[in-house]
Amino acid sequence: MKASKLTIGYTEIPRNELTAEWKQLLERAIQAASKAYAPYSQFNVGSAILLSDQTMVTGSNQENAAFPSGLCAERVALFYAGHEHREKTITKMVVCAVKKGELLAEPVTPCGACRQVMVESILRQKSSFEILLWGNDFGYLLNHAELLLPFSFDAGSLK
**What does pTM read for this prediction?**
0.94
Which three-class secondary structure state does DSSP give residue 74? helix
Does residue 41 fall inside a structural domain? yes
Domain holding 112, by residue range, is 11-158
Q: How many percent of the chain have pLDDT more than 70?
A: 100
φ, ψ dihedrals at 71, nearest 5°: -135, 145
Q: Using CA atoms, how far apart are residues 32 and 47, in angstroms rounded to an integer?
A: 7
Look at residue 13 in the predicted model and tell me its pLDDT: 98
63 domain-assigned: yes
CATH number at 97 reads: 3.40.140.10
Per the domain annotation, does 97 fall within a domain? Answer: yes
| Domain assignment present for 83 | yes
Question: Does residue 2 form part of some domain?
Answer: no
Our count of domains for the chain comes to: 1
For residues 23 and 32, give the distance between their C-alpha atoms in angstroms, rounded to a whole number.
14
- Binning pLDDT at 50, 70 and 90, where does residue 155 land? confident
Assigned domain for 119 exists: yes
19 falls in which pLDDT band (50, 70, 90)? very high
**Which contiguous run of DSSP H or E holds residue 27?**
helix 20-33
The pLDDT, as a whole number, for residue 68 is 85
Q: How confident is the model at residue 159 (pLDDT cuts 50, 70, 90)?
A: confident
Give the tens place of pLDDT for each residue, 29-87: 999 999 999 999 999 999 999 999 999 999 999 999 998 899 999 999 999 999 999 99
158 pLDDT band, cuts 50/70/90, is confident
Structural domain includes residue 149: yes
- Kindly state whether residue 140 falls inside one of the protein's structural domains: yes
Catalytic residue set: 74
